[in-house]
Amino acid sequence: MWKKVIKKYITRDVIIMVELDQYRFKLSNYKKPLEEIRDSL
């Protein structure tokens, strides 16, 4: 499921690094709030 979420949000300008163990997102130039990603998970 997380792979689909990541692919959904990654663009040229977005880099998402995920620590799978704790589902922590490190976002760079991300265009939406972290809460939206958490909701997607």
The domain locations on the chain are 2-40
- Residue closest to 24 by CA, chosen among 7, 9, 11, 37: 37
pLDDT tens-digit map of 1-41: 566 766 666 654 455 555 544 455 555 545 566 667 667 65
Contact (Cβ atoms closer than 8 angstroms) between residue 28 and residue 15: yes
Question: What's the pLDDT at 10?
Answer: 62
The residues facing 18 across adjacent strands are 25
What's the pLDDT at 37? Answer: 64
- Identify the pLDDT of residue 14: 55
- Counting runs of H as helices and runs of E as strands, what totals does the chain give? 2, 2
Rounded CA separation 23/2 (Å): 9
Report pLDDT for 11: 55
Secondary structure element (H or E) that encloses residue 26, with its range? strand 24-28
